[in-house]
Chain A
Amino acid sequence: MIHELGYWGDCMTKIFSDNKNIYINTITSKLRLLKKTILLLSRNILTRGALIGAFLLILIAILAPMIVPYPQDIADATHSALKLLPPSLIHLFGTDELGRDIFSRVLVGTRISFTTAIFAVGLALIIGVPLGAVAGTLGGWIDEVIMRITDVFLSFPPLLLAIAIVALAGPSLKNAILAISLSWWPWYTRLVRGQTISLKERKFVQAAEAIGTKPSTIIFKHIVPNTISPVIVQASMDMGGVILTVASLSFLGLGAQAPTPEWGLMISTSRNYFLDAWWYSIFPGMAIFVTVLIFNLLGDGLREILDPKTQKR
């Protein structure tokens, strides 16, 4: 159903390509799609909760530095005399080893985790999707070469490759993002390639080939938009996976550096104090858990909607 809608939308853009109204039509058709997806998602209580949660998280990520009670505690100030205070009314999540408010730092950490996830997944998509589409469409030795390279990257355990790259480039959040996207792109390539191979047999692609459309146009205007749905499902679940990986890298000391309020780094620092200051590891850990849970629920819900096989009963 969604494939069809997308296909019709594209057909319209091709035929009336110079007409501005058609672009607006495409946008409205995509918006209607979004509305329909949200309605479908809200039917199940879990995914409804996840939708609301995701909305709240995005709000927090955007507004964080403005709404936190102690904005100076994010990176600049230290109050070492106030260190490791338990949760109270003035410090909802307590303070860390330098007296900074953990509640403020956890909220700002949302922004960092989101940015990391979006950039890492985005980069992986930019590398992986076109590669997969090219491999599937063109076939032959290009396909073989791309698939072998993909296999090489896939056979690395994900964290290990990220570790190797960060070791090469030096530990920092930027390098962690790069490392993660370099270990994540193969999955999308494989996914898109599989989709492409089945799409190639479809009539509208064969028609485009018959009228002599350039291969690049076929790839980017016809094939890629129609592989979007499984990619979106995978990407939304990967957001959660990426956040966990960044936290793991920071936990090992290979990601964010002090004083960045990144959740994994906070848990890693909290290890030294965790017998006396349980709040220092619980709250960042809960933040990771809740965020990843929301993304996974969303991805799972999307997959339920988009996969026709699970709808029969």
Chain B
Amino acid sequence: MYKYICRRLLTGLIVILGVVTLTFLVTRIVPSDPAAKWVGPRASSDQIAAARIELRLDKSLPVQYCLYIKDLLHGNLGRSLSTHQPVADELRSFIPPTLELVLLAFIFAVFIGVPLGMYSAKYKDSALDNICRLFSIGVVSMPTFWVALFLQLIFYNKLGWLPLAGEVGLEMSVLSDIPHITGMLLIDSLLTGNLELFGNAFMHIILPCLTVSLYPIGLVSRMTRSALLEVLGEDYITAAHSYGINETKVLWEYALKNTLGPTAIVLTLSLGYTLTNTFLVEAIYSWPGLGSYVAKSVTVLDYPAIVGVTLFSSICYILLNLIADLIIALDPRVRLLG
């Protein structure tokens, strides 16, 4: 067991090194001048030449690589070419809002997806099953940026129920002090007891959360359905039925517990895809998170920023994979290989 974890961590480190090298190569081979980006569109050639030296672009590729690794080990991810700020600081301020969005979306997905999948499995091949299947497959087939635009159109423009964009209202951001404890506005406002701010922040998170949760909802309901179908075919369920135990009780207490494991795993692994969805959606909602940061960096090809985000998501992904594998490994029914 211990040996397994060590081995996995080691391979994880090798993979991270591979990711770092790959992203470094990408940023150095691109046919565009980072120095020109740094100084802006109206700079003179002298200013660009000065910037090249400042950004260490005059050094050879291996030297640049070593300096890059050295910086990484100190937590220095370089400076964004467009904002001139340290990427690490920018990530630190942009990650919590996205985390808030994604976590809320996951919670929402579980509350909607699990019952959906359950009823779908229970009434397999009936009309209800087909509708639920159509719904859960439908939501993962929609382009999220399209959905975002339309939710805005309907709920803000036509109905005026929900705010258009941003994390908090304009008046609120000027007149009150925005607490910055965790960086997640919902939690911060609760921690400081500012219920008015909480209400405002909640109104603002509804539409983005709805958009981002579409994919996890579909995933969770499909996963629950197939896992439940598998479990319901087991002998011990047949035995429970023959003992005369209530159908609902069988479903909830016996079957469901065994499906939550695979569902949790699938959810953690879907983080990557959900994160990618936020790239498209956050810009539309002016949500100050990782997504709009990436969308902006991508349109101007700000390499240090893109690399910083890539590194962060890769590390997350590797860690999550490790956790998921550990959960599987802890299951005594699975024989540990090596």
Binding site for B on A (CB under 8 A): 44-46, 148-149, 151-152, 154-160, 163-165, 167-168, 170, 240, 244, 247-248, 251-254, 264, 267, 271, 274-275, 278, 281, 285, 288-289, 292-293, 296-297, 300, 309-310, 312-313
Verify if B125 is at the interface (C-beta below 8 Å from A): yes
On chain B, the residues within 8 Å of A274 by CB distance are 149, 153
The complex places the Cα of A281 from the Cα of B321 at a distance, in Å, of 37
The complex places the Cα of A160 from the Cα of B280 at a distance, in Å, of 12
Verify if B142 is at the interface (C-beta below 8 Å from A): yes
With A157-B313, A300-B133 as given contacts, are A281 and B149 in contact (CB-CB < 8 Å)? yes
A-B pairs, top 4 by smallest CB distance, nearest first, are: A312-B233, A152-B18, A292-B141, A285-B146
Verify if B318 is at the interface (C-beta below 8 Å from A): yes
The complex places the Cα of A165 from the Cα of B230 at a distance, in Å, of 40
Contact B134 A46 (CB under 8 A): yes
Indicate with 1 or 0, residue by residue over B293-316, a CB within 8 angstroms of chain A CB atoms: 011001101000010011001100
Contact B146 A152 (CB under 8 A): no
CB-based nearest A residue for B279: A159
Verify if B76 is at the interface (C-beta below 8 Å from A): no
The complex places the Cα of A274 from the Cα of B142 at a distance, in Å, of 18
On chain B, the residues within 8 Å of A292 by CB distance are 141-142
With A296-B140, A313-B233 as given contacts, are A164 and B145 in contact (CB-CB < 8 Å)? no
Some 10 contacts from A to B, beta carbons below 8 A apart, are A46-B134, A148-B18, A155-B15, A157-B275, A168-B30, A251-B145, A275-B153, A288-B143, A289-B138, A297-B134
Contact B30 A152 (CB under 8 A): no
The complex places the Cα of A151 from the Cα of B14 at a distance, in Å, of 10
With A157-B317, A310-B226 as given contacts, are A240 and B141 in contact (CB-CB < 8 Å)? yes
With A148-B15, A152-B22 as given contacts, are A157 and B142 in contact (CB-CB < 8 Å)? no
Verify if B194 is at the interface (C-beta below 8 Å from A): no
Contact A252 B295 (CB under 8 A): yes
Selected from A45, A163, A281, A289, the residue in CB contact (under 8 A) with B141 is: A289
With A44-B130, A296-B137 as given contacts, are A160 and B146 in contact (CB-CB < 8 Å)? no
The complex places the Cα of A309 from the Cα of B226 at a distance, in Å, of 9
Verify if B232 is at the interface (C-beta below 8 Å from A): yes
Indicate with 1 or 0, residue by residue over B263-300, a CB within 8 angstroms of chain A CB atoms: 00000000011011001100000000000001100110
Contact A293 B26 (CB under 8 A): no
Q: Which of B6-38 contact A (CB under 8 A)?
A: 11, 14-16, 18-19, 22-23, 26, 29-31
Verify if B251 is at the interface (C-beta below 8 Å from A): no
Selected from B14, B143, B146, the residue in CB contact (under 8 A) with A148 is: B14
